[in-house]
Chain A
């Protein structure tokens, strides 16, 4: 258990700065998710925390100590990798026990911990199998088990679910979250999947180009993103953006205006009642995606692609004209030039 403090952390590869001086403090027991597109520096940051990459500048504290110059093993952290990094020539038991390789516990104590971790992760029946005989999800659990037995001061996850199929990913998400609630160990989790970030995190750190754009709880990020990038990154499908300008009644769509209006597809209802405040858009239907309870309707509104949601069972025909509307209060306004968040409307 420990806090983690990043102060002006920088990573340079030659002349390229991959991480450009980030500040962050992670509380004891917190589950923090780093999210961002590929190459944003999130994995590099994690690897610096782990001690796998040297820190070019700035300080890193785990607990009260500055650990910049410490080897990974002296930092007492455990890490789970995307490709699991479990050893094919060892059984599950040996793999999990490998986390205790340097520990001074007695043989019985070690065995007890391995059994315990196996039980928590539902691997009891597989302890004497080789990884080759396990499914992807089970392999990832072995990797988590190896991290668990160490009783580390922090868990680091580097895109641990990226190699799993969608269903398994959803299941493992919940399992990792439960595990965190049970162990209450400080956790840093890197992913490029905003769904993982939203569902698992106590706090999300959005990164882009080596900078932190925003730090906040999932709902903070969803409700008041700092800029267009974060707004479009968080939430699925991505937020619609159309040019607009302020009017007497609020805002209205207009090309070449000084603001951008952001509307979540979820809030943009197809076939609205004839009257109502908020914003109305009309466009040509280019594609429909029926999801069961609702249908996503892709529209072309004056050359801008927009996604709306149809909640009634009628699926609009492709090529037809459709009007949709979003109520006031659901709109996000951004400065058209700086793309910074201006407020809700």
Chain B
């Protein structure tokens, strides 16, 4: 039993309990093995308890609720797959589904390429390096609500909206941005990308710094150009970092909510639902329509999407032996 449990443990950990030793009392009556197990499980109990109550129980509860018609007032009644059938027949769901994947498929690559490019060049800048890095990181520290409101201003028509002002100076006709069903989603996406950029740059830079400089020197002596070094050495060696950021950023875009909600407060997810992501739909179903069962079914769908996308990415980007 104990031997089986040990298999997963890291080697070379100190395995005696601090309370060990022949001091009498309860501890001396138990074997060393038992005392060690008690000690280990004592520490593990707290997070396990926390996760069970705070995470796993509500998750399972959501799965259960998705099969009910609970609306906060009447007791929940099991309705089978009715919520799911309704969802898949709901045109609004497919619209939202498409929006969510547009955020994911367009947003993730753009934000990663942008973050990598900035990190790659910032890594070579010595002048005011820390200051510039801090500037990029600042949006990550800012509240989404405040940030979204500032960007709403940017997107306003002239003379309030600075972007339209600049466009006007360049002789380009003014754009509706978040007022247009065609442009709103991308306008929100820009804000979301900008907000996450700082974090991704920091992680990319850490990854770049971890590559030994002799790798580059050896490549220079072997006669590789900048582009070949980037393609043959930097990018392959940066792969673990990239995998992490792809998954992390994808999950972020699949769960996008606060930027959308704050930039379209008059009509959340508008105009005409053109910016609405899945999480906002869930929020509205649950807390505007109070259709808890239906909202739970939507969260289960989101859960499945997140899981599939993450596993797929980990599989595609896995280390090939």
Q: Which of A18-26, A96-104, A184-192, A299-307 contacts B (4 or more CB under 8 A)?
A: A96-104
> Cβ of A52 and Cβ of B217 under 8 Å apart?
yes
Judge whether A222 is part of the interface by a CB distance below 8 angstroms: no
Neighbour of B215 across the interface among A51, A71, A82, A87, CB < 8 A: A87
CB distance from B262 to the nearest CB of A (A): 42
Neighbour of B214 across the interface among A83, A99, A101, A102, CB < 8 A: A83
Judge whether A73 is part of the interface by a CB distance below 8 angstroms: yes
Judge whether A60 is part of the interface by a CB distance below 8 angstroms: no
Judge whether A77 is part of the interface by a CB distance below 8 angstroms: yes
Residue with the highest number of chain B CB atoms closer than 10 Å, among A52, A71, A82? A52
Neighbour of B222 across the interface among A51, A83, A89, A101, CB < 8 A: A101
Closest to B320 in A: A89
Judge whether A146 is part of the interface by a CB distance below 8 angstroms: yes
A51 to B237, CA, bound (A): 25
Contact mask B208-222 → A, CB, 8 Å, 1/0? 000010110111111
Q: Which residues of A sit under 8 angstroms from B233, Cβ to Cβ?
A: 87
> Cβ of B222 and Cβ of A73 under 8 Å apart?
yes
Judge whether A72 is part of the interface by a CB distance below 8 angstroms: yes
Residue with the highest number of chain A CB atoms closer than 10 Å, among B217, B223, B236, B239? B223
> Cβ of B220 and Cβ of A72 under 8 Å apart?
yes
Q: Which residues of A sit under 8 angstroms from B223, Cβ to Cβ?
A: 72-73, 101-102
CB distance from B320 to the nearest CB of A (A): 10
> Cβ of A79 and Cβ of B221 under 8 Å apart?
yes
> Cβ of B222 and Cβ of A98 under 8 Å apart?
yes
> Cβ of A73 and Cβ of B220 under 8 Å apart?
yes
A71 to B214, CA, bound (A): 16
A73 to B219, CA, bound (A): 9
> Cβ of B236 and Cβ of A79 under 8 Å apart?
no
Q: Which residues of B sit under 8 angstroms from A73, Cβ to Cβ?
A: 220-224
| Chain B 213-250 residues near chain A, CB threshold 8 A | 214-215, 217-224, 228, 232-233, 236-237, 239
Q: Which residues of B sit under 8 angstroms from A83, Cβ to Cβ?
A: 212, 214
| Chain A 98-130 residues near chain B, CB threshold 8 A | 98-99, 101-102
> Cβ of A85 and Cβ of B212 under 8 Å apart?
yes
Question: Would A101 and B224 be within 8 Å (CB), given that A81-B214, A83-B214, A89-B237 are in contact?
Answer: yes
A78 to B218, CA, bound (A): 8
CB distance from A147 to the nearest CB of B (A): 9
A99 to B219, CA, bound (A): 8
Task: Tally chain B residues at the interface, Cβ within 8 Å.
Answer: 17
> Cβ of A78 and Cβ of B221 under 8 Å apart?
yes
Q: Which residues of A sit under 8 angstroms from B212, Cβ to Cβ?
A: 83, 85
Majority secondary structure, B binding face: helix
Task: Tally chain A residues at the interface, Cβ within 8 Å.
Answer: 22
Q: Please report the number of residue pairs spanning A and B whose Cβ atoms sit closer than 8 angstroms.
A: 57
A186 to B19, CA, bound (A): 65
Closest to B218 in A: A85
A79 to B237, CA, bound (A): 21
Judge whether A203 is part of the interface by a CB distance below 8 angstroms: no
> Cβ of A99 and Cβ of B222 under 8 Å apart?
yes
> Cβ of B228 and Cβ of A101 under 8 Å apart?
yes
Contact mask A267-309 → B, CB, 8 Å, 1/0? 0000000000000000000000000000000000000000000
Judge whether A88 is part of the interface by a CB distance below 8 angstroms: yes
Q: Which residues of A sit under 8 angstroms from B228, Cβ to Cβ?
A: 101
Question: Would A87 and B237 be within 8 Å (CB), given that A81-B214, A101-B228 are in contact?
Answer: yes
Closest to B215 in A: A85
> Cβ of A85 and Cβ of B224 under 8 Å apart?
no
> Cβ of B220 and Cβ of A85 under 8 Å apart?
no
Question: Would A71 and B217 be within 8 Å (CB), given that A88-B237, A101-B228 are in contact?
Answer: no
> Cβ of A77 and Cβ of B221 under 8 Å apart?
yes
> Cβ of A51 and Cβ of B221 under 8 Å apart?
yes
Judge whether A42 is part of the interface by a CB distance below 8 angstroms: no
12 inter-chain pairs at a CB distance below 8 angstroms, sorted by A residue, are A50-B221, A52-B217, A72-B220, A73-B220, A73-B221, A83-B214, A85-B218, A98-B222, A98-B232, A99-B222, A101-B223, A101-B224
Q: Which residues of B contact A (CB under 8 A)?
A: 212, 214-215, 217-224, 228, 232-233, 236-237, 239
Closest CB pairs A-B (n = 10): A73-B223, A102-B223, A85-B218, A85-B214, A89-B236, A72-B221, A81-B214, A72-B220, A79-B221, A52-B217
New A-B pairs, 9, CB < 8 Å, besides A83-B212, A101-B232, A102-B222? A51-B221, A52-B221, A72-B221, A73-B220, A85-B212, A87-B237, A89-B236, A101-B223, A146-B222
